[in-house]
Amino acid sequence: MAEIMPFQMVHYGPEYSNALNSLITPPYDVISPEQQDSFYKSHPFNVIRLVLGKQFSSDTPEDNRYTRASNTLKKWMIDKVLVRKPKPGFTLYQMDFRESDGNWKRIDGFVGLLKAEDYGAGKVLPHEKTYSGPKKDQLKLLRACRANFTPIHAMFNDPEGIVLKLYESLLNTEPEQEVRDSEEIIHRTWSLCEENAVHGIVEFLRKKSLFIADGHHRYETALAYRREMEARNPSTIGQPDNYIMSYFTSMSHPGLTVLPAHRMLRDLKDFNKEEFLRRMSDCFEIHDLDYNISDLENASKRLSSKLREFAKVGGHFGVLFNGEQRFRLISLRDPENFSSFLSANIPESLINLDVTIFRELILGHCFGLDKEDLENHIEYTPSAADALKKTMLGEIQVSFILNPTRVDQMTKVAELGQKLPHKSTYFYPKISSGLVLNVF
């Protein structure tokens, strides 16, 4: 059902192989302003100049972050800072990473091109809602550069490991690129150009639906761009404008890891903590936790461990308010009967998920917020310690610590044609920007 194809991969020239740790970045949407500045300083050829260029007060329609990215890309291609593979293929991409308990895990997949199709066609299935702002930004960058700098992450069902068998022998050879990033994640890549293996992968996935794990904004941007190109010139159908670079992994891979996406609220006007707690008591039991908040790292681990006790039940959250020195654990009073607090159109498959309970009960009932217009008031992080630290420093008014959404919950929602709230999953680790690019 899904249409994928090999491509002529673009990567840094071989003379930069020893400098990759100062050339790559995470995906644009997890880069802070401080990190952006650091990446700029790390190397004059750092991919940040393409992925997330700086903005200046002097920017004009002719000179801005998008036009500068386009000019930089063209120059780097001409100067062979970036080089293109002569033969189409896939990039095998492997990552070694540490879990929170310190144990190492490994995940691998391949990078290729995925045809951007309407969700209703059933070939590519989303699982969460998107914001309009990031899509507008990414569309401007795509128009200017005609390139993908970071793959989206798509998953396929392959319990027998058929795709892995087609490429696993290559993983036992010396990688073409290997780098340890700032988070101590080890990235390795190989080029898979052997025609039988490439054809086998293409044909296997032709029979499958794909689930978007990460990159919904970029996928919808690619779809909008494809429509633009077809409207201008219908003969572009089937051309590179119709595809987006994607990292494909099996849902059965033992290294597939989903972290929680904790919620942090800021810039709330007239925020009244006591009124919020009063409303919260309508539907939640509230318990104080006697964790030593001065040791944030240990306290956040204890809080996350406590929440994991309720991972299969749902409706439990950790809470920290700015200005307080205590955590709270809130637990849904009646998990079987809280529908009176929900919007009328919530599908049954979503009702008992923590991300839905947070959106409907905490944001809607307790805060009285417009759940569709929170883009400027909410931040997300997979790190409980990071959320709690920002709250204590006053950058955040209140943080909520969640359990992760499970892969089976995500795929069930996607198969039913429904969508989870914004940022319901955080697949880890993130594939980097810079090790493989798609330049049309």
Does 80 lie in the same domain as 141?
Answer: yes
Largest CA distance in the chain: 66
| Residue range of the domain that includes 312 | 262-403
Does 149 lie in the same domain as 14?
Answer: yes
Q: Round to whole Å and give the CA distance between 236 and 225.
A: 12
Residue 398 lies in a domain: yes
Does 246 lie in the same domain as 308?
Answer: no
- Rounded to 5 degrees, what angle do the CA atoms 420, 425, 430 make? 140
Does 232 lie in the same domain as 280?
Answer: no
Residue 319 φ then ψ, to 5°: -135, 140
**What is the number of domains present in the chain?**
2
Whole-number CA gyration radius for the chain: 22
Q: What is 352-420 written as a DSSP string?
A: T-HHHHIIIIIIIIIT---TT--TTTEEEES-HHHHHHHHHHTS-SEEEE-PPPPHHHHHHHHHTT--B
Q: What is the pLDDT of residues 96-150, one digit of tens each?
A: 999 877 889 999 999 999 999 888 666 888 877 777 788 899 999 999 999 999 9
Residue type, 396: I
Does 24 lie in the same domain as 166?
Answer: yes
Close Cβ partners of 57 (under 8 Å, ≥ 6 residues apart): none
Name 401's bridge partners: 318
Does 295 lie in the same domain as 226?
Answer: no
Long-range contacts, stretch 403-409, CB < 8 angstroms, 24+ apart: 403/260, 403/307, 403/308, 403/310, 403/311, 403/314, 403/316, 403/354, 404/258, 404/259, 404/260, 404/261, 405/258, 405/260, 405/261, 405/353, 405/354, 405/355, 406/258, 407/155, 407/251, 407/256, 407/258, 409/353
Does 246 lie in the same domain as 374?
Answer: no
| Residue 71: strand, helix, or coil | helix
Residue 414 lies in a domain: no
Mean pLDDT taken over the chain: 89
Q: What is the H or E stretch that residue 104 is in?
A: strand 104-115
Q: Is the backbone of residue 146 left (phi > 0), alpha (psi -120 to 50) or beta?
A: left
Does 317 lie in the same domain as 176?
Answer: no
Global pTM value: 0.85
Helices (H) then strands (E): counts for the chain:
12, 21
- Whether the ω angle into residue 404 lies within 30 degrees of 0, i.e. cis, is no
Q: What is 10-42 written as a DSSP string?
A: EEE-GGGGGGGGGT-B--GGG--HHHHHHHHHH
Residue 420 lies in a domain: no
Name 82's bridge partners: 12
Close Cβ partners of 188 (under 8 Å, ≥ 6 residues apart): 93, 94, 95, 175, 177, 178
- Quote the crossing angle between the two packed helices 65-78 and 132-145, to the nearest 10°: 40
Residues of the chain with pLDDT under 70: 120-122, 235-238, 335-344, 370-374
Which is it for the CA torsion 214, 220, 223, 225, positive or negative?
Answer: negative
Does 247 lie in the same domain as 273?
Answer: no
Specify burial of residue 81 (Cβ count, 10 A radius: 0-12, 13-18, 19+): middle
pLDDT value of residue 120: 66
Residue 158 lies in a domain: yes
Does 212 lie in the same domain as 312?
Answer: no
Q: Round to whole Å and give the CA distance between 22 and 43.
A: 6
Name 100's bridge partners: none
Going from the C-alpha of 71 to that of each of 24, 76, 140, 144, 186, the distances in angstroms are 19, 9, 14, 9, 31
Does 323 lie in the same domain as 221?
Answer: no
Residue 421 lies in a domain: no
pLDDT value of residue 372: 61
Residue 130 lies in a domain: yes
pLDDT value of residue 196: 96
What end-to-end distance do the CA atoms of the chain give, in Å? 24
Residue 417 lies in a domain: no
Does 310 lie in the same domain as 198?
Answer: no
Residue 415 lies in a domain: no
